Amino acid sequence: MRAPRFGSFLFVVLLLCTIGLKVFVLIRQPDTGMRTRLNLRALLTAQGFELEPDDAEAEPPFVAGHAGDCALVVFIASPHGWHRYLLREMVGPGDTATFLYDKARYADQPVWSTWRVNELMGHRMADKPVLGVRASSACGETIVPWAALIGLSSTRTPAARAAAR
Protein backbone atom coordinates (compact mmCIF):
# COMPACT_ATOMS: atom_id res chain seq x y z
CA MET A 1 0.00 0.00 0.00
CA ARG A 2 2.85 2.37 0.66
CA ALA A 3 4.28 2.28 -2.90
CA PRO A 4 1.18 3.78 -4.63
CA ARG A 5 1.16 6.74 -2.21
CA PHE A 6 4.83 7.46 -2.84
CA GLY A 7 4.29 7.14 -6.61
CA SER A 8 1.33 9.52 -6.48
CA PHE A 9 3.29 11.98 -4.35
CA LEU A 10 6.25 11.85 -6.75
CA PHE A 11 3.93 12.37 -9.74
CA VAL A 12 2.34 15.46 -8.13
CA VAL A 13 5.76 16.94 -7.28
CA LEU A 14 7.04 16.41 -10.84
CA LEU A 15 3.84 17.86 -12.29
CA LEU A 16 4.12 21.00 -10.15
CA CYS A 17 7.78 21.44 -11.06
CA THR A 18 7.14 21.21 -14.81
CA ILE A 19 4.17 23.60 -14.65
CA GLY A 20 6.22 26.03 -12.57
CA LEU A 21 9.06 25.92 -15.10
CA LYS A 22 6.70 26.61 -18.01
CA VAL A 23 5.06 29.54 -16.20
CA PHE A 24 8.51 30.96 -15.39
CA VAL A 25 9.58 30.75 -19.04
CA LEU A 26 6.34 32.33 -20.29
CA ILE A 27 6.63 35.22 -17.84
CA ARG A 28 10.23 35.94 -18.85
CA GLN A 29 9.56 35.98 -22.61
CA PRO A 30 9.54 39.56 -23.92
CA ASP A 31 6.72 40.85 -26.10
CA THR A 32 8.62 40.84 -29.40
CA GLY A 33 5.48 41.77 -31.34
CA MET A 34 5.22 45.04 -29.42
CA ARG A 35 8.87 45.91 -29.94
CA THR A 36 8.74 45.12 -33.66
CA ARG A 37 5.51 47.10 -34.04
CA LEU A 38 7.09 50.13 -32.35
CA ASN A 39 10.13 49.84 -34.63
CA LEU A 40 7.83 49.65 -37.67
CA ARG A 41 5.90 52.74 -36.55
CA ALA A 42 9.12 54.71 -36.04
CA LEU A 43 10.51 53.61 -39.41
CA LEU A 44 7.40 54.45 -41.41
CA THR A 45 6.92 57.79 -39.64
CA ALA A 46 10.53 58.70 -40.46
CA GLN A 47 9.82 57.79 -44.12
CA GLY A 48 6.90 60.27 -44.24
CA PHE A 49 3.99 57.86 -43.80
CA GLU A 50 0.92 59.02 -41.89
CA LEU A 51 0.01 56.12 -39.64
CA GLU A 52 -3.39 54.88 -38.57
CA PRO A 53 -4.02 54.73 -34.79
CA ASP A 54 -2.28 51.82 -33.10
CA ASP A 55 -4.41 48.82 -32.17
CA ALA A 56 -2.47 46.96 -29.48
CA GLU A 57 -5.06 44.15 -29.37
CA ALA A 58 -4.95 43.33 -33.09
CA GLU A 59 -4.01 39.82 -34.13
CA PRO A 60 -1.69 39.67 -35.92
CA PRO A 61 -0.01 42.90 -34.79
CA PHE A 62 0.17 45.37 -37.68
CA VAL A 63 1.04 48.91 -38.68
CA ALA A 64 -0.92 50.65 -41.43
CA GLY A 65 -0.35 54.03 -43.02
CA HIS A 66 -0.23 56.04 -46.20
CA ALA A 67 2.02 58.47 -47.99
CA GLY A 68 -0.05 60.26 -50.60
CA ASP A 69 -1.93 57.59 -52.57
CA CYS A 70 0.39 54.83 -51.35
CA ALA A 71 -1.33 52.66 -48.72
CA LEU A 72 0.88 50.26 -46.79
CA VAL A 73 0.06 47.53 -44.25
CA VAL A 74 2.87 45.67 -42.50
CA PHE A 75 1.98 42.88 -40.09
CA ILE A 76 4.00 40.54 -37.94
CA ALA A 77 3.20 37.08 -39.25
CA SER A 78 3.24 33.87 -37.30
CA PRO A 79 6.46 31.95 -37.96
CA HIS A 80 4.30 28.83 -38.44
CA GLY A 81 2.59 30.28 -41.53
CA TRP A 82 -0.83 30.81 -39.94
CA HIS A 83 -1.17 34.33 -41.35
CA ARG A 84 0.06 33.81 -44.90
CA TYR A 85 -3.48 33.45 -46.23
CA LEU A 86 -4.43 36.73 -44.57
CA LEU A 87 -1.97 38.55 -46.82
CA ARG A 88 -3.44 36.93 -49.93
CA GLU A 89 -6.94 38.05 -48.90
CA MET A 90 -5.79 41.66 -48.33
CA VAL A 91 -4.34 42.07 -51.80
CA GLY A 92 -6.34 43.91 -54.45
CA PRO A 93 -5.69 44.31 -58.18
CA GLY A 94 -2.26 45.83 -58.76
CA ASP A 95 -1.23 45.57 -55.08
CA THR A 96 2.08 44.10 -54.03
CA ALA A 97 2.13 41.32 -51.44
CA THR A 98 5.39 40.06 -50.05
CA PHE A 99 6.94 38.48 -46.99
CA LEU A 100 10.18 39.73 -45.54
CA TYR A 101 12.42 37.45 -43.55
CA ASP A 102 16.14 37.36 -42.85
CA LYS A 103 17.26 39.99 -45.40
CA ALA A 104 15.11 38.63 -48.24
CA ARG A 105 11.73 39.16 -49.96
CA TYR A 106 9.45 36.22 -50.70
CA ALA A 107 6.23 35.91 -52.71
CA ASP A 108 5.02 33.33 -50.17
CA GLN A 109 6.09 32.83 -46.58
CA PRO A 110 9.12 30.52 -46.32
CA VAL A 111 7.57 28.52 -43.46
CA TRP A 112 10.42 26.03 -43.11
CA SER A 113 12.89 28.88 -42.67
CA THR A 114 10.86 30.98 -40.23
CA TRP A 115 10.99 28.82 -37.12
CA ARG A 116 13.61 26.95 -35.18
CA VAL A 117 13.41 24.44 -32.38
CA ASN A 118 14.02 25.71 -28.87
CA GLU A 119 15.84 22.66 -27.53
CA LEU A 120 15.26 23.34 -23.84
CA MET A 121 11.47 23.69 -23.88
CA GLY A 122 10.51 21.94 -27.10
CA HIS A 123 8.62 25.03 -28.32
CA ARG A 124 8.99 26.42 -31.82
CA MET A 125 9.78 30.10 -31.80
CA ALA A 126 10.66 32.69 -34.39
CA ASP A 127 14.35 33.43 -34.63
CA LYS A 128 13.66 36.70 -36.45
CA PRO A 129 10.37 38.49 -37.13
CA VAL A 130 8.42 37.53 -40.23
CA LEU A 131 6.82 40.58 -41.84
CA GLY A 132 3.90 40.44 -44.26
CA VAL A 133 3.60 43.56 -46.42
CA ARG A 134 0.73 44.75 -48.59
CA ALA A 135 1.50 47.83 -50.66
CA SER A 136 -1.16 49.42 -52.87
CA SER A 137 -0.57 49.84 -56.58
CA ALA A 138 0.21 53.55 -56.06
CA CYS A 139 3.25 52.75 -53.92
CA GLY A 140 5.75 51.60 -56.51
CA GLU A 141 9.21 50.46 -55.56
CA THR A 142 10.56 53.90 -54.64
CA ILE A 143 8.02 54.97 -51.99
CA VAL A 144 8.13 51.83 -49.82
CA PRO A 145 11.31 51.67 -47.69
CA TRP A 146 12.04 48.06 -48.67
CA ALA A 147 15.67 48.06 -47.54
CA ALA A 148 14.76 49.36 -44.08
CA LEU A 149 11.86 46.91 -43.74
CA ILE A 150 14.11 44.05 -44.78
CA GLY A 151 16.59 45.24 -42.14
CA LEU A 152 13.89 44.91 -39.46
CA SER A 153 13.12 41.38 -40.63
CA SER A 154 16.73 40.32 -40.13
CA THR A 155 17.06 41.52 -36.53
CA ARG A 156 17.06 38.63 -34.09
CA THR A 157 14.29 38.79 -31.52
CA PRO A 158 15.20 39.16 -27.82
CA ALA A 159 13.76 35.68 -27.15
CA ALA A 160 16.01 34.18 -29.83
CA ARG A 161 19.07 35.96 -28.43
CA ALA A 162 18.29 34.64 -24.96
CA ALA A 163 17.80 31.09 -26.27
CA ALA A 164 21.15 31.21 -28.07
CA ARG A 165 23.03 31.84 -24.83
Residue 105 in contact with residue 96, Cβ under 8 Å? no
Q: Which residue, 62, 43, 41, 61, is CA-closest to 51? A: 41
CB 129, CB 74: distance < 8 Å? no
Reading the chain (165 residues) residue by residue, the pLDDT tens digits are 455 677 777 777 776 767 766 655 444 444 557 788 888 999 999 999 999 998 877 888 899 999 999 999 999 888 878 888 888 888 888 899 999 988 889 988 887 776 653 333 454 455 678 899 999 989 887 778 888 888 887 766 555 555 555
Per-residue pLDDT, 4: 64
Other Cβ atoms less than 10 A from the Cβ of 43: the count is: 17
In DSSP terms, 63 is beta-bridged to: 74
Global pTM reads 0.70
- For residues 65 and 4, give the distance between their C-alpha atoms in angstroms, rounded to a whole number: 63
